[in-house]
Structure 1
Amino acid sequence: MIPVQGYAGHKVAVLGLGRSGLATAAALKAGGAEPVLWDDSPEARAHAEAEGWACTDLGREGAFEGIAALITSPGIPHLYPQPHRIIAKAMAEGIPVDNDIGLFFRSWATHEWDDFETMPRTVCVTGSNGKSTTTALIRHIVEHAGRPVQMGGNIGVGVLALEPARDGEVVVLELSSYQTDLARALTPDIAVFTNLSPDHLDRHSGYGGYFAAKRRLFAEGGPDRAIIGVDEKEGVYLANQMASSREDDRVIRISSEQKLGDFGWSVFARKGFLAEWRKGRQIASIDLREVKGLPGAHNHQNACAAYAAARCLGIAPKVIEEAFHSFAGLPHRSQTVAVRKGVRYVNDSKATNVDSAAKALQAFDNIRWIAGGLGKEGGVSFLKPFLGTVKKAYFIGHSGRDFALELEGLNHEICETMERAVARAAEEAEPGDTVLLAPAAASFDQYKSFEKRGDHFAALVAALPD
């Protein structure tokens, strides 16, 4: 774990006792602080107490006397749509509010680094879609290159559960808007912005607030290198804000839609080929079409981002290309779970919004599409231009019938459950078809998480008769 610096001998409140909350409490204690724990959930409190922690109601009168700071879990609202009552109380009393990301960046560097030959580096990845795949791919490339590496944040382990740095180590962090929005310290060496599409808008009071939360990693983080997807206007704006000139190679623009040859440094993918350009010249190229773990244009953007980060770390293009081919992909993200009777079954349960579902629909042909769940604000009419490869849709969950109405004219069947959707798609599929789970919706109407939904799909596919 990373012992938290700066609070030795002080009481520090911890709100939210999930994975990151308990890791935060342990890291505070390791750094000499006295953690004061609370969670509104009796089950979470019982779990913490079973782990040996005492819980103190932070909502009671006088609870913040002698408290130096409040550390909150990222899922707890601190501003919009309404701040949690305990966070509001802390702010009203002038208690600094932070999260584990802020604690990590104030505690990561230690005096032991003075003896290192090569300083550790942090690579932070944010954006709407592709964060997890990009983060895992960077970690895979660094590991393939034979360098020490750890991965955490919104994927893997909580940041404070990482091990202290080793000489020359790279730490790759996936950071959500919930995490970047509140962290009081953000100092990445390399920051990556993949893309932006509507998500979590209630938590950020709209699209502008959502972008502003992502932008903090760059504007306040001041990375040495900024890798920015420029296929949306927000990325174009961010790259312009970060660069001092067109030739400024501290900013690396990436794209999966357009050629980017007129900048100091750019990486882009077109027609399945990744190209790296520097100062008006192409210096490397990789054929992505046979990279099985990265199918589709959206994964080619992820490849561009990971490639750029690896190049910033001094890794050669040939080594990166080798790593691409050995990357298996992540579960629930364009993951082929089976090929049966010539039919491919793909689990993209992580496609919880229309933008990520659109990318999945563009990655395959002859699609039998399983979609639905707990629909998000704005509906799914955005997907109409991407339905040309869909032979039939099988709608499930709370919003299944709404999806059918919005996508009028699409050949479909209301299946309601995953069991029926998989069975019907398998019955009707022909060799060359792809049965694609890309829900374009949250899972919480029928499942505890998108992972549980994807696991159920994979289990049903595995049980299909040969």
Structure 2
Amino acid sequence: MIPVRGFETKNVAVLGLGRSGLSAARALKAGGAHPVCWDDHPEICDKVESEGFEIRDFSRDGAFVDIASLIVSPGIPHLYPAPNRIVAAALAAGVPVDNDIGLFFRSLGNGDWHQMDQPPKVIAVTGSNGKSTTSALIHHILENAGKSAQLAGNIGRGVLDIDPPADGGVVVLELSSYQTELARALTPDIAVFTNFSADHLDRHGGLGGYFAAKRRLFAEGGPDRAVIGVDEAEGAFLAGQLSEGPGDDRVIRISVEGKLTGPGWSVFARKGFLAEYRKGRQAGSIDMRQIKGLPGAHNHQNACAAYAACRTLGLSPKVIEAGFNSFDGLPHRSQVIAERDGVSFVNDSKATNVDSALKALQAFRNIRWICGGLEKDGGLSGLKPGLGNVIKAYVIGREAAGFALQLDGVDCEVCTTMDRAVERAMAEAREGESVLLAPAAASFDQYDSFEKRGDDFIAQVSRRL
């Protein structure tokens, strides 16, 4: 646990008592603060109260009179699409608002660090797609190289639940826009921006608000190194804002769409090969074509980001390549779950938006595509560049018929349920084809999470093999 510092003997409010909220309450208590907690679910409040925490309904008048700060769980919208009433009450009372990520960064360092040969470092990864794979890949490479590393944030453990890092240790954090938008302290040593596409627009009040939430990771603390995906305008803009000139190697640009060979530091992947350039000269190369855990251009982008981050820590290209080759990938992300009679079955349930689904469609050929769910803002037109790889779509979700109507030129079958979609896709699949779950939509019309949706796909496939 990382005890929270700076609130000794003070009352600190904690709103939302899920994983991050309860972790924050415990870490505040460990640091000498007095957590005062609230959740809209009475049964959760009862459970937390039984652990010895004070419970207080912060919607009542005067609830913030003795509160030093309010810690908000990331799942609670604080401003858009409408101001949260409790957050608004705290702000009206002059109470600062923060989250567990902010508490982590203000509390991580301790008095022992000056005695260490190599003080610990934090790598923070954000972006629209690939955050989890990139974070897990960095963590895997470091552990494979014999380094002390911990994985936390939006993946793995809660940020305040990790062990205090040891001499030379590295903490790898996956940070969503929900986490970066509110944190009052954001000071990673290395910050990674994978890519950018429309997502969570209602939560952030539009595309500009979404980018602003991501940008805070780089603008608030000023990381020593920034790894930036520049294939979208937003990434190119961010890299330009952080750089002092063309040769500034504090900014490492990454790409899977173009060759980057300027005077600075860059990593790019083209035609299955990853290349590193520094000061206009090649400094490393990896053949990605046979690395099973990282298929497709989108995973090559993740590999570029992980490679760049690990190079800043002094790891050699050969050590990083060894980590690539032993990486199995993450569940629900281009996960090959089975093969039979020349047909591959791929679970990419994490493809919850159009951009991530497009990358999955472009990573495979001859696709029997299972798609659909709770559609996000922006429509499905962005999928068009990948539809040429689709033999047929099997559409699931409560609004499956409406989803199918938007897939112009694609042979579609409205299946509604995963059971029916898998049954029909498996019945029609032939040698050399892939049955791919890449929904291009959220799961919440039928499932509690994308993990549950992916698990259902795996179960339906497994029982028919």
- TM-score after normalising by structure 2: 0.99
Once residues 404 and 433 of structure 1 are traced to their aligned partners in structure 2, the CA distance between those partners, rounded to angstroms, is 21
Query: Superposition pairs for residues 206-285 of structure 1, below 5 Å?
Result: 206-285=206-285
For the 8 Å contact 2:35–2:54, the answer to whether it is kept is: no
For 2:433, the equivalent position in structure 1 comes to: 433
Offset of 1:87 from its aligned partner?
A: 0.4
Q: Deviations over 1:315-359 (max 9, x none)?
A: 111000000000000000000010112110000000000000000
User: Which residue of structure 1 lines up, in the alignment, with residue 191 of structure 2?
Assistant: 191
Distance in structure 2 (CA, Å) of the matches to 1:419 and 1:322: 39
User: Partner of 1:182: helix, strand, or coil?
Assistant: coil
Contact 1:379 1:403 in 2 (8 A): no
Answer yes or no: is the 8 Å Cα contact 1:372–1:439 preserved in 2: yes
Counterpart position of 1:117: 117
8 A contact 2:349–2:438 mirrored in 1: yes
SS in 2 for 1:202: helix
Return the alpha-carbon distance in structure 1 between the equivalents of residues 67 and 216 of structure 2.
27
Deviation string 1:364-410 (CA, Å, 9 cap, x unpaired) is 01100000011111221221221111010000002321221111321
Q: Is the deviation greater in 113-122 or in 9-18?
A: 113-122
Query: Which residue is 1:9 aligned to?
Result: 9
Local SS of the residue matching 2:70: strand
Which secondary structure does the structure 2 equivalent of 1:333 belong to? coil
Contact 2:19–2:158 under 8 Å retained in 1: yes
> Are 1:44 and 2:47 an aligned pair?
no
AA at the equivalent of 2:287: D
SS, match of residue 35 in structure 1: strand
- TM-score, scaled to structure 1: 0.99
Larger CA deviation: 396-405 vs 259-268: 396-405
Deviation at residue 291 of structure 1 after TM alignment = 0.6
In terms of mean alpha carbon deviation, does 249-258 or 391-400 score higher?
Answer: 391-400
Contact 1:375 1:398 survives alignment (8 Å): no
User: Are 1:23 and 2:23 matched, yes or no?
Assistant: yes
In 1, Cα distance between the equivalents of 2:321 and 2:399? 41
Q: How does 1:89-128 map to 2 (within 5 A)?
A: 89-128=89-128
CA offsets per residue over residues 214-240 of structure 1, 9 Å max, x none?
011111120000000000000110000
Matches for 1:19-168 after TM superposition, within 5 Å: 19-168=19-168
How far apart in 2 are the matches of 1:48 and 1:34? 14
Partner of 2:326: 326
Offset of residue 51 of structure 1:
4.1
Q: What's the CA shift string for 1:402-450, capped at 9, x where partnerless?
A: 2211113211100000000001100000011100000000000110000
Equivalent residues in 2 for 1:354-433, closer than 5 Å: 354-433=354-433
Aligned to 1:303: 303
Corresponding residue of 1:462 = 462
Q: Distance in 2 between matches of 1:412 and 1:78?
A: 40
Give the aligned length: 465
Q: Deviations over 1:161-212 (max 9, x none)?
A: 1111211100000001111111000101000000110001111111011101
Determine the C-alpha separation between the residues in 1 that align with 2:325 and 2:220: 35
Give the Cα–Cα distance (whole angstroms) in 1 for the partners of residues 145 and 454 of structure 2: 31
Q: Is 43-52 or 352-361 further displaced after alignment? A: 43-52
8 Å contact from structure 1 (residues 391, 411) kept in 2: yes
Cα drift, residue 48 of structure 1 = 2.2
CA drift at 1:50: 4.6
Task: Provide the C-alpha distance between the structure 1 equivalents of 2:74 and 2:48, rounded to a whole number of angstroms.
Answer: 18
CA distance in 2, matches of 1:44, 1:373: 29
Residue identity over aligned pairs, in percent, reads 68
CA separation in 1, counterparts of 2:351 and 2:51?
35
1:387 partner SS: helix
Corresponding residue for residue 442 of structure 2 = 442
Q: Secondary structure at the match of 1:159?
A: coil
- Is the CA contact 1:20–1:100 (under 8 Å) kept in the aligned structure 2? yes
**CA-atom RMSD in angstroms:** 0.9
- Give the residue type in structure 2 aligned to 1:354: V
Q: 1:333 and 1:51 mapped to 2: Cα distance?
A: 37
Cα separation, 2, equivalents of 1:109 and 1:321: 31
